[in-house]
Amino acid sequence: MRARLVNDKEEGMVAAILAMEKLFPEKIEYGEWDVWDNLQNPNNINVIIEDDDGRIVGYILAIPQAEAVGYLKDEDPLLQDREGMYHVDQVAVVEDKRGGSVFRRLVKEMIVEVKRRGGRKLSSYIMNGLSNVIERMFENITEKRAVKLLSYGNHELFYLESDI
């Protein structure tokens, strides 16, 4: 498997990411325009994992924390912009690759790029089952709180911040 950054509309990239979006509850899914916009934004970090056959099996999107605050401040007034922080907005792994190394590799590759850009912290809204996995991956959790956001389908989530 190989990991790589993508920040352009490559042939088949939007379709592959949209196929993985179907794994999310409907309210959380991004549409075609959203995916295309995320791929085009040079401030974003888009990492994919491809298997040996070139099939995209994982995707992670991190955006500057200021952008997350911009669109979520009304729903989460505790969300703050912090210098050098990125917000992990989307993570998707195809069903037949879950529970293995794809998720961990996505996170590690994204962290490498965040650090390369001068970032020092990460945040994310995590569905309940993933919060334990994330907490094992990061030793420096600086904030954890339960939250429900209408834009995330009003699901039980945890907001996490971590130093990297």
Domain of residue 27 covers 2-163
Q: Does residue 27 surpass a pLDDT of 50?
A: no
pLDDT at 81: 92
Q: What is the pTM of this model?
A: 0.86
| Percent of the chain whose pLDDT exceeds 70 | 87
Asked if 136 contacts 10 with a C-beta cutoff of 8 angstroms, the reply is no
pLDDT at 60: 92
**Structural domain count, the chain:** 1
Which residue, chain included where needed, has tokens 């500057």? Answer: 64
CATH number of the domain at 149, please. 3.40.630.30
Encoded amino acid at 125, one letter:
Y
- Whole-number Å distance between alpha carbons of 123 and 163: 9
Band of the pLDDT at 143, cuts 50, 70, 90? very high
pLDDT in tens, 47-66: 999 999 988 899 999 999 99
Tell me the Ramachandran region of residue 154: left when phi exceeds 0, alpha when psi lies from -120 to 50, beta otherwise: left
